[in-house]
Structure 1
């Protein structure tokens, strides 16, 4: 059986010769399609199938493992056994954390250790069947006879456990978390579980996994109350009978029921990043009753409103399911982090309160999501974008590090490079989202120009970048990618500076945003490591990741020379000129998609989904298929985008070719299936690709309707013969955000043969760096 990577290493422009599936009549109105929440739960998608609300604080989901990269989200589809159900999860990340407060429904003797995946019977793990998931609800039958159901509000998780007749118990495992190779220092700093006088069980734990020192608080209530509770401290030491509290690091509590099967056991749990009072207040505000089914219905209704924002007709049933699932995944993060009273833990370690009607968020995977996830929300959910932008501004001002990088529950992890928190701000400003951008500017300016010992890994070499025009490869690791990504952040920051009247800073940043040139060797047409003396790395091999054998001396960030060559998003015409003009650039793009799909032994698993050397499973060059439009060959974009939509996404657990990265991979699919993509979000335009469906209805702006039509669109018609906008011919291979948000009808005439004339003229090519070649 061919591997997926081998299958995708074929020619760049060819279209899979699949038979056209029966299609719906074009006149039929688009309708909602149910998502498949198991897409991405196998392979390297790293998603989870449990219950959450759009951008909710609680992600209540089953956990199957904590020790392998495959289980970054806590769940892997083929593991075969479930540890229990925890309240917080990361969607699609390549690093694991969270999994706070595991609840394990059990029967028979109390077992405090999980056992192994190979032999679940050696611990409290359970094999399972009848697993079902839908937005806001999860169901599974465990082999111990217990049926588990989960649903949520924004800040509370709801469990319903139906036991067989007889004794049973619930284990609360506060020691459960994503493991790493060392427990020194301990991954859990301190923890508490306590039964309060009203029977509410409260607690906290401080975790040092990825977001070092984050603290989660909880308050849970049960109906019916357990007959008794036993506590276990570190090393599973049972506490004296009648204990009401236990402290330590790896704590557990067992809630005993003499007749667990008499009625379903309901558990509702509120969480907070502030304190126990916040968790209790969240629980009190969002759990005023014990009606599990009503909570489930409310959760489903919230999701229906989101999934109705994009409805399609045509394509295959699987493609419609993939679209609905992608839309679902694109609404899981960032996650709510403020309590019902508006309090949240800021990046400065202090408790703050958002203004009335505002919200604070966590789980900003900004190196990934600035590219498509945030632009998608700006298009279809501008009110949410406004809330996120206000929060980004507040947290940027509060953080000692300035613009956000990868914050998780009040802690800046500093993961990846650059300070891409500026990009959603610049993008939103360019697209008309009103906010106090000036409030973030002092922190952005410090990050851009001042170099202090507090710098995180993501901004190493900024002083050299500023002085020399690039980060030298003999001084800092990932130097080529750093130079290019710092340049893009300068581009975004220059827009913010211009908008608030900081003209001199804007000019300095705009000039510095051209530093990408200094790590692109125009003589060979590749991104290439450069040393302090100005010389290039030789002998050069674009397949390799760096000039040193040790992985921490990689010269690229999750990429190699091929992929980094096309990293530039904001000055495409400058890049084209630097590499010798249209013909040479087009040939280089062809070579990217046709090169052998080989990688060095030290390549990270993130580089996946190869078509030639293009890696769709990772972010650095996900805009590259759209670059053909800038040299007047958008028909090649159309062919490649259609191919990627049909080969890189499947309606099965292994259905996402790489980490979903908090919705970025999913947002790429939503945009591309609609027929356009934001190559540079700050430019505020979309480059046309190849729509996947016959008709899409998209809610944009303030409730306006964008209709995308492609009548007769089939698997063998990937090419755009012509375009009309609101009934008038449209010659350009792009369209502005300002046009789309007014609503209207974008109509594509599709063909089985390319139309090289469409978008060929200089005046019809997309703008970049504020200019077009015409």
Structure 2
């Protein structure tokens, strides 16, 4: 199992202005304002500082291209290629990861300049030593689907926009007889400018370049291809291999190597614009050319930008919230923007895609391939949010995962990235998201095929301790790293598969898997009150401190967590966990202790354990459901207070606005759902647990003309405690509801007050279900 955290935490300066003003209203044909334009609240700079790992550039919802500036390409805080603390830019590449904890991509960097062209990027400490340029954040403009900046050293303005599979650049040059564009195929993420295994570059026409490369940064043997056109014919093109000038390749031939670059020279007049458009593909350069011809046939930059803006307006308008608090709206709508950046499209317009077997396949009509599934993170809240606002995409995502499981030598997807299995993190939560779709009744998905693939992993595969899990009902800490967390993850995957088994009428399998999903209980040591690692002989590990990552230096026993967080890492059986801890009162006391314990961590703790409140770590996903566990113990008012506190303290409308990296939408999804007033502790069950709504009202577009309306009745925005709750016009004694209650549309009404209502949701008879397949 590959750890996704490969670099030490680094300090980062926090700067950058808030989002620039955009149109305040969407206008009707009459010119009258209809509704507030939610795009005015989106600030792509949120998450580009601290440890957010977000990029500020241009992309479309779930698009293949993410055209964005790169300020550096190594180190943990530069996994997206950009950090707000930097003051110089290397150039603009076409693929980026949104908020991940490992770095990769940054394919096909283009940089503009004037004068004598450098062919290396140079160091941040000395931008003059390479082609990078200084810039000011005051000169940046960011909005969904568009980015611009002034390259101060060259007096060139760079503008970027995108379609799904193409990136469009517009460079405004000064008068200069040595204006140029650099194309760098070596540039990528990692030391020494990226681990490029091989590349090829050819001149297709006087204004057209094409080629591709294979890299092995995070994803091993990853393929990426491009076709690039310029709007002005270069006066000359100089090619480089290993940073030495070489003859231009003959017509129809490729220049091959590991470090390929070229410089395109122009004479420009003052304020002359030169455009670049690039199609990309995971299949071949011909596929990239087809993508370019289909999606960006002309040179109409402003039209593409406008189309991108309208596409984002439709996407962001899927949830409308009302509040007088502008920071809350800025955080919310930016979170919805970040959520919509992944998974990413990974097929060409002709239906071809590169599979997990590294072979080229053709999709069935109407289907798409996708990449960048951060499943260990996103199964918790991002995919549940998609089941609300992306009903048409959910089957596409699931079918893509099923094809991956069929084609991959690794079996069920864990963390797939562009036809490669990174193997990052524990569990195999493609099973969880497919099972959630099944449980919620999504059609157009081959659940029989998925079930066979999931059962092979659960019952047959010799995969990361699963043999011990099946034989001993736990994984020994002396035989397998991260044994406790792996067991917990396998328990949830068993629970997930049990739902599909039940749906398919395989009741014996469902019962077996549901029972096996309680294996987590074998780690509870009553004498210390924590989930504690066990050795193969059944004895507990020593020494034991609940803040430690593991019992020895050989490996960790927990995945990016410790015994404090993992003890509460039970999403499908809170009632069983409560019983282990001695009942409701003892459990509430223990859970209070998590939030009030000293925030001490050992020296070997990963930087992901961030956003600490006691030992609760909001910056890392295993903690995300924990504040909602009070509801299962009859103390929902404690959930309400804690969730409101986390909403107010863990997110901010500034670059350093996330307590932890974004992880392809999961940090944002927690905010989106929690601010609406509910959260899926156990996503596969389809149950949503009430928290504390942040907004005064909201409307969720469920697709196909269905709406979910949320109304919050309170006298003061600070009132955080639910006094009563009604669902579709009927007052509820319980503090949860099921997806089926609102799947066809509905109305939730929260009546709030300044103090807890101690009787609301306190009785055990109205607790959310635990370990229930009904």
If the length of structure 1 is used for normalisation, what is the TM-score? Answer: 0.93
Aligned counterpart for 1:284 among listed residues 289, 293, 296? 293
Deviation for aligned residue 1:714: 4.1
* Aligned residue in 2 for 1:15: none
Hey, what's the Cα distance between the residues in 2 that align with 1:351 and 1:55?
Answer: 21
Hey, what's the Cα distance between the residues in 2 that align with 1:651 and 1:703?
Answer: 32
Instruction: Indicate conservation of the 8 Å contact 2:530/2:563, yes or no.
Output: yes
SS in 1 for 2:693: coil
Hey, what's the Cα distance between the residues in 2 that align with 1:240 and 1:395?
Answer: 42
* Aligned residue in 1 for 2:67: 60
* Aligned residue in 1 for 2:47: 40
Instruction: Indicate conservation of the 8 Å contact 2:680/2:687, yes or no.
Output: yes
Hey, what's the Cα distance between the residues in 1 that align with 2:336 and 2:512?
Answer: 39
Larger mean CA deviation between 154-163 and 430-439 belongs to 430-439
Hey, what's the Cα distance between the residues in 2 that align with 1:442 and 1:753?
Answer: 51
Aligned counterpart for 2:762 among listed residues 738, 749, 760? 760
Aligned residue runs from structure 1 range 103-114, under 5 A = 103-114=110-121
Instruction: Indicate conservation of the 8 Å contact 1:522/1:580, yes or no.
Output: no
Aligned counterpart for 2:184 among listed residues 156, 164, 173? 173
Which whole-Å deviations, capped at 9, do the CAs of 1:420-442 have from their partners, x for residues lacking one?
11011110111110111111222
SS in 2 for 1:196: strand
1:336 aligned onto 2:345: yes
Deviation for aligned residue 1:260: 5.9
SS in 2 for 1:637: helix
Larger mean CA deviation between 751-760 and 676-685 belongs to 751-760
SS in 2 for 1:75: coil
1:374 aligned onto 2:376: no
Hey, what's the Cα distance between the residues in 1 that align with 2:680 and 2:372?
Answer: 22
* Aligned residue in 1 for 2:336: 327
Hey, what's the Cα distance between the residues in 2 that align with 1:488 and 1:363?
Answer: 22
SS in 2 for 1:709: strand
1:451 aligned onto 2:453: no
* Aligned residue in 1 for 2:131: 124
Query: Cα RMSD over matched residues?
Result: 1.8
Instruction: Indicate conservation of the 8 Å contact 2:201/2:255, yes or no.
Output: yes
1:528 aligned onto 2:539: no
* Aligned residue in 2 for 1:357: 366
Instruction: Indicate conservation of the 8 Å contact 2:414/2:427, yes or no.
Output: yes
Deviation for aligned residue 1:56: 0.2
* Aligned residue in 1 for 2:642: 640
Hey, what's the Cα distance between the residues in 2 that align with 1:321 and 1:373?
Answer: 19
Hey, what's the Cα distance between the residues in 1 that align with 2:497 and 2:565?
Answer: 24
Instruction: Indicate conservation of the 8 Å contact 1:39/1:654, yes or no.
Output: yes
Hey, what's the Cα distance between the residues in 1 that align with 2:710 and 2:35?
Answer: 13
1:75 aligned onto 2:85: no
Instruction: Indicate conservation of the 8 Å contact 1:30/1:312, yes or no.
Output: no
Hey, what's the Cα distance between the residues in 2 that align with 1:738 and 1:257?
Answer: 61
1:133 aligned onto 2:137: no
* Aligned residue in 2 for 1:414: 423
Hey, what's the Cα distance between the residues in 1 that align with 2:510 and 2:626?
Answer: 27
Deviation for aligned residue 1:31: 5.5
Instruction: Indicate conservation of the 8 Å contact 1:397/1:442, yes or no.
Output: no
SS in 2 for 1:592: helix
Deviation for aligned residue 1:389: 1.3
Hey, what's the Cα distance between the residues in 2 that align with 1:544 and 1:393?
Answer: 37
Deviation for aligned residue 1:731: 1.6
Larger mean CA deviation between 705-714 and 313-322 belongs to 705-714
Hey, what's the Cα distance between the residues in 2 that align with 1:406 and 1:723?
Answer: 39
* Aligned residue in 1 for 2:168: 158
Hey, what's the Cα distance between the residues in 1 that align with 2:461 and 2:773?
Answer: 32
Aligned pair in 2 of structure 1 residues 350, 722: CA closer, same or farther (>3 Å)?
same
* Aligned residue in 2 for 1:697: 699
Hey, what's the Cα distance between the residues in 1 that align with 2:324 and 2:507?
Answer: 49
* Aligned residue in 2 for 1:505: 509
* Aligned residue in 2 for 1:463: 467
Hey, what's the Cα distance between the residues in 2 that align with 1:570 and 1:30?
Answer: 39
Aligned pair in 2 of structure 1 residues 420, 241: CA closer, same or farther (>3 Å)?
closer
Aligned residue runs from structure 1 range 469-480, under 5 A = 469-480=473-484
* Aligned residue in 2 for 1:211: 219
Hey, what's the Cα distance between the residues in 2 that align with 1:469 and 1:761?
Answer: 33
Larger mean CA deviation between 699-708 and 600-609 belongs to 699-708
Which whole-Å deviations, capped at 9, do the CAs of 1:651-709 have from their partners, x for residues lacking one?
00000110100000000000000000000000101000000011111112433111111
Instruction: Indicate conservation of the 8 Å contact 1:369/1:661, yes or no.
Output: yes
Aligned residue runs from structure 1 range 192-271, under 5 A = 192-197=200-205, 199-234=207-242, 236-240=243-247, 245-259=254-268, 261=270, 263-271=272-280
Aligned pair in 2 of structure 1 residues 29, 87: CA closer, same or farther (>3 Å)?
closer
Hey, what's the Cα distance between the residues in 1 that align with 2:283 and 2:339?
Answer: 26
Aligned pair in 2 of structure 1 residues 243, 78: CA closer, same or farther (>3 Å)?
farther
* Aligned residue in 1 for 2:564: 562
Aligned counterpart for 2:684 among listed residues 657, 682, 685? 682
Aligned counterpart for 2:632 among listed residues 626, 630, 637? 630
Gapped regions of structure 2 (runs ≥ 5): 1-33
* Aligned residue in 1 for 2:652: 650
Gapped regions of structure 1 (runs ≥ 5): 1-27, 453-458
SS in 1 for 2:312: helix
Instruction: Indicate conservation of the 8 Å contact 1:693/1:713, yes or no.
Output: no
Hey, what's the Cα distance between the residues in 1 that align with 2:387 and 2:206?
Answer: 45
Hey, what's the Cα distance between the residues in 2 that align with 1:727 and 1:601?
Answer: 53
Larger mean CA deviation between 342-351 and 555-564 belongs to 342-351
Instruction: Indicate conservation of the 8 Å contact 1:219/1:271, yes or no.
Output: yes
Instruction: Indicate conservation of the 8 Å contact 1:483/1:519, yes or no.
Output: no
* Aligned residue in 2 for 1:9: none
Larger mean CA deviation between 239-248 and 213-222 belongs to 239-248
Deviation for aligned residue 1:262: 6.3
Hey, what's the Cα distance between the residues in 1 that align with 2:248 and 2:297?
Answer: 32
* Aligned residue in 2 for 1:490: 494
* Aligned residue in 1 for 2:103: 96
SS in 2 for 1:311: strand
Deviation for aligned residue 1:623: 0.1
Deviation for aligned residue 1:711: 2.9
Hey, what's the Cα distance between the residues in 1 that align with 2:170 and 2:576?
Answer: 59
1:385 aligned onto 2:389: no
